[in-house]
Amino acid sequence: MVFSTLSGYGELKEPVSIGPCRIFYEEIDREIIVYRRLCNGRVEAEEIVSKPLKFEIIPLYPVFTPYIITKYVSIHLTQPLIVPSNSSITIYLKLPVDIGVYVYDLNGRYELIDVYPPLKVKYGVYGTVENGVIARHYISPIYRDLIKPGFGEAVAKVNVLNRFERWVKVSRIVLDSQLLRLHYIKGSWEAYTQEILFEISSPTIAYISYGSSFIEKAIPINDPEGFKPPKLRGRSEMLWGL
């Protein structure tokens, strides 16, 4: 079997290589297809699918692997950002994404059949052991200009607003995947969040609002079950330090 190197998100039409993994499907008969993913020579995913219309590879929120234990993503800054009182600044950050595979039927309904993380997965606790939350851990530099995300990454545009009366140091931003929205450009590995407002109210508390897409060409992913965003734009909180 010949595998071509996949150049970006989109429909899976032939056997492809993505990093150390190979993804393909085989027709058993007119109604049955077997989907497989091999990584480093080992079968890591196999699904028998009846009457699929197509398979599609998309970016996913980075909380699916090895299984869903949280909805939070904690982006730690390589260097803290110190923000003066009553001021704002716009920055760009990177966050990880998982790679998802959808199968579609003739009616356009879809099902998530495979997820894997292209980047190393690490989790930590945000807050106290008693009351804190588990979050996917990731480290990002601060970028002042829009950057192009690499394979396994998304870029977030974050508007930081300090409403506190003093300087505040920000060393991390914790995002809620159920309020986050991912967008991507087909045929590339570019993925983006929507615009995010990070509103500081004290040295330890911030409120995060989730806005609209900031990349014109990017399209929203079809959200998996349990991750469809609310009709009204939501807000999350950071209560245990910035």
Burial zone of 39 (CB within 10 Å; 0-12 exposed, 13-18 middle, 19+ buried):
middle
Tokens 């995913």, residue?
45
State the Cα–Cα distance between residues 81 and 126, nearest whole angstrom.
Answer: 18
The reported pLDDT for the residue numbered 189 is: 97
**Separation in Å, CA 32 to CA 28, 29, 50, 79, 230:** 5, 5, 5, 52, 36
Which residue spans within the chain are E strands per DSSP? 4-5, 10-12, 16-18, 21-27, 32-39, 42-50, 54-60, 72-83, 87-96, 98-104, 110-116, 123-126, 133-140, 153-162, 168-176, 183-184, 191-200, 206-213, 219-220, 235-238
Residue 71, domain extent:
4-238
Is residue 64 a contact partner of residue 123, using CB atoms and an 8 Å limit? no
Residue whose C-alpha is closest to residue 176's, from 105, 92, 237, 222: 237
Q: Which two tokens stand for residue 222?
A: 């079809």
Low-confidence ranges of the chain (pLDDT < 50): none
**Does the global pTM surpass 0.85?**
yes
Q: What pLDDT shows up at residue 124? A: 96
Spatial contact of 177 and 210, defined as CB atoms under 8 Å apart: no
Contact 126, 136 (CB under 8 A): no
Q: Which percentage of the chain shows pLDDT scores above 90?
A: 86
pLDDT tens digit sequence for 150-209: 999 999 999 999 999 999 999 999 999 999 999 999 999 999 999 999 999 999 999 999
pLDDT at 134: 96
Count of structural domains within the chain:
1
Residue 231: what pLDDT?
65
CA pair distance 156, 198, nearest whole angstrom: 12
92: which residues sit within 8 A by CB, 6+ positions away? 142, 143, 144, 145, 146, 147, 155, 156, 157, 158
Instruction: Give the pLDDT confidence score for residue 127 in this predicted structure.
Output: 94
The C-alpha atoms of residue 33 and residue 51 are separated, in whole angstroms, by 7
Q: Are 15 and 24 in contact (CB under 8 A)?
A: yes
